Structure 1
Amino acid sequence: MSLPVKVMRDGPVEKRSSGLLQLWKKKRCVLTEDGLRLHNCKGSGDAPSSAWSSRAKELRFERMVTVDCVEYKRGLVYFTIVMATGKEIDFRCPQDGAAWNAEIALALVRYKNLQAVQTGRNRHLSTSHLGSTGEDETL
């Protein structure tokens, strides 16, 4: 059973499909401390009562490299999330307010910084433990 995650932002975005036509599809994006969850829209049209699917595609920060390619066009922000595998996932959202690309980029930097701090602590603890045995001292 998974622990509850802190939701940092929740709202609509559009994701470009990877198919031949590369259509823009509406998604509900949930930004957490661990990454993004993308829910499909089951309803049709722009009705606010459209139902969101309970199944979600998860994009975890541990597999992300960067948020790239920001372009502002006709009131929309276009951006790309680059995964560690080299896969690029294109998104767009309205330009008004805090744009999704900035929120995702800041959350990704925060996640990577926490990972680096934890790695540094673990390295420090393992070297200080080795140093306490006296094995690596020179006479």
Structure 2
Amino acid sequence: MSFPAKVIRDGLLEKRSSGLLQLWKKKRCVLTEEGLRLHNCKGSKAKELRFERMATVDCVEYKRGLVYFTVVMATGKEIDFRCPQDGTAWNAEIALSLVRHKNLQAVQTGRNRHLSTAHLGSTGEDEEL
């Protein structure tokens, strides 16, 4: 059974388009434990940026009351965002959630490695009867 991911933050962000003019477009964003979902304000299908495909949150600049930041994907693709500087900035929330996700992955990988080596170590071949 799959449970919906816990919502950490929900609100508006502006994303720079990848077109020739690189216009800023408002997106309704939902930050969850699994990643960032971007909804067009028109209500079409959401785009999801999952943490397992993210590398880092970078390039923070403060200008005229706005925070500009970049989400860098594992493929090297960069996605630019901006948001108001008031309160806790989206970039900090996304970065903390990404670190939390990567830490949980590392712990799980360590557990799996420990369990597999413990299991492989107890073959019973060296035991005397």
- The alignment's TM-score, normalised by the length of structure 1, stands at 0.87
Q: Quote the residue 1:120 is aligned against.
A: 110
Partner Cα distance (1:82, 1:2) in 2: 28
Distance in 2 (CA, whole Å) between partners of 1:13 and 1:2 is 28
Following TM superposition, the consecutive aligned residue runs of length 4 or more in structure 1 with deviations greater than 4 angstroms are none
Deviation at 1:55, TM superposition (A): 1.6
Coordinate RMSD, CA, aligned: 1.7
Q: Is 1:80–2:73 an aligned residue pair?
A: no
**Match for residue 16 of structure 1?**
16
Task: Give the partner amino acid of 1:87.
Answer: K
Task: Specify every segment of 5 or more residues in structure 1 that has no aligned partner in the other structure, as ranges.
Answer: 43-52
Q: Does 1:31 align with 2:46?
A: no
Equivalent of residue 64 in structure 1, options 26, 45, 54: 54
Give, in whole Å, the separation in 1 of the partners of 2:88 and 2:29. Answer: 14
What SS is found at the alignment partner of 2:45? strand
Indicate the residue corresponding to 2:5 in structure 1: 5
Tell me the distance in 2 between the aligned counterparts of 1:106 and 1:135.
Answer: 47
Offset of residue 54 of structure 1: 5.1
Mapped to 2, the partners of 1:54 and 1:21 lie a distance apart of: 22
- Structure 2 counterpart of 1:26, which letter? K
**Unaligned 5+ residue runs, structure 2?**
none
- The 3 A distance-change label for structure 1 pair 128 and 2 is closer
Cα distance in 2 for residues equivalent to 1:70 and 1:2: 35
So what's the TM-score if we normalise by structure 2? 0.94
Overall identity of the aligned pairs, in %: 89
CA–CA distance in structure 2, aligned partners of residues 113 and 77 of structure 1: 26
